[in-house]
Amino acid sequence: MTTPKTVTVKVSRRFKASPERVFDAWLDPAKARLFLFATPAGEVVRADIDARVGGRFLIADRRDGEDVEHTGEYLEIERPRRLVFTFGVPKFSKDYSRVSIDIVAMDGGSELTLTHEGVLAEYADKTPEGWGMIFDGLTRLLG
Amino acid sequence: MNKALDLTLAALADPTRRAILQRLSHGEARVTELAAPFPISLNSVSKHIRILERARLVRRRRAGREHLLSLEQKPLDEAAAWMAGQRNIWNARLDVLEALLEAEDVASSPGA
């Protein structure tokens, strides 16, 4: 039982926006810094996106004076229907998980399905704080 | 906590063990009763049961000479809560993305 156990997380969402606009948001540093890996306790200090297959992204946020980097590599970029990238937080673990995003046109808008594979059970105890922080960020953004 | 979750997920990653848990969800059972439906030795079933006990998914009690096994629900609930938490993270990010795109629509619509 030395293999770390992982699970796959899958979520879907419908948007009024077109597949192109939803897709582009993931590769636009100005938007990605607001919704992807942003936390209210932290301030995003860097958002670099090299949007090509084999290119990398790095989004860093500063929490209590400490920078936490979220990083990964783009594996598939097929605008506007599919985006696949690896994702990791080197500060906490050397392991990378994999995020696949599939977007289809629907009812004048679009539907996005996100599949996150290789989510480590090790982070279980960090989770409640993690999503609490993100929910706070959302409230602030919408307020 | 994370060690416990590792044990739960490892214990659940086997069809025989999931079938054992399924059976126990209907109520307490003896080891021999649990082993009966499986085409494997009593010894292998016992090994599976030990893994389930170590993950605290199964509790053993003695009644005279019998060992009775029952399901312990709590680790299953905790694993389910953790998975729901992982989904919540992404749902929260998608909420923000949705709000961003709608804010753009408002900003670009005539008369706004």
Inside any domain, residue A114: yes
Answer yes or no: is pLDDT of A141 > 70.
no
Domain hosting A67: range is 6-142
ipTM, 2 dp: 0.77
Placement of tokens 């079938």 in the chain: B19
Inside any domain, residue A1: no
Q: Which residues 99-128 of A have a C-beta within 8 angstroms of B?
A: 112, 114, 116, 119, 121-125, 127-128
Pick B1's closest partner by Cβ from A21, A125, A135.
Answer: A125
| Cα angle, residue A77 at apex, residues A93 and A60 outer, rounded to 5° | 35
So what's the pLDDT on residue B88? 85
Supply the CATH number for residue A127's domain.
Answer: 3.30.530.20
Pick B10's closest partner by Cβ from A1, A138, A142.
Answer: A1
Mean pLDDT of B41-54: 93
The pLDDT-based confidence of A103 (bands split at 50, 70, 90) is very high
Please report the DSSP string for B22-47 in residue order: HHHTT--EEHHHHHTTSSS-HHHHHH
Region of A7 please: left (phi>0), alpha (psi -120 to 50) or beta. Answer: beta
So what's the pLDDT on residue A40? 61
Total structural domains within chain A: 1
Inside any domain, residue A130: yes
So what's the pLDDT on residue B106? 86
> A71: which 2 tokens?
């990083």
Stated pTM of the model: 0.71
Inside any domain, residue A15: yes
So what's the pLDDT on residue A39? 65
Inside any domain, residue A78: yes
> B80: which 2 tokens?
């389910």
Mean pLDDT of A66-79: 94
**What order do you get walking across the sheet with A56-63 strand by strand?**
A6-15, A109-120, A97-106, A82-87, A66-78, A56-63, A43-49
Backbone angles phi, psi at A38, to 5 degrees: -85, 140
pLDDT in tens, B49-103: 999 999 999 999 998 888 999 999 888 888 888 877 788 888 988 999 999 999 9
Residue B92, min C-alpha distance to chain A (Å): 6
pLDDT in tens, A45-58: 899 999 999 999 99
> According to DSSP H, which parts of A16-102 are helical?
19-27, 29-35
CB pairs under 8 A between A and B: 97
pLDDT in tens, A11-57: 899 999 999 999 999 999 998 888 887 666 678 889 999 999 999 99
Answer yes or no: is pLDDT of A123 > 60.
no
CA-CA distances (angstroms) from residue B88 to A68, A77, B58, B77? 21, 25, 29, 16
Q: Which residues 82-101 of B have a C-beta within 8 angstroms of A?
A: 82-83, 85-101
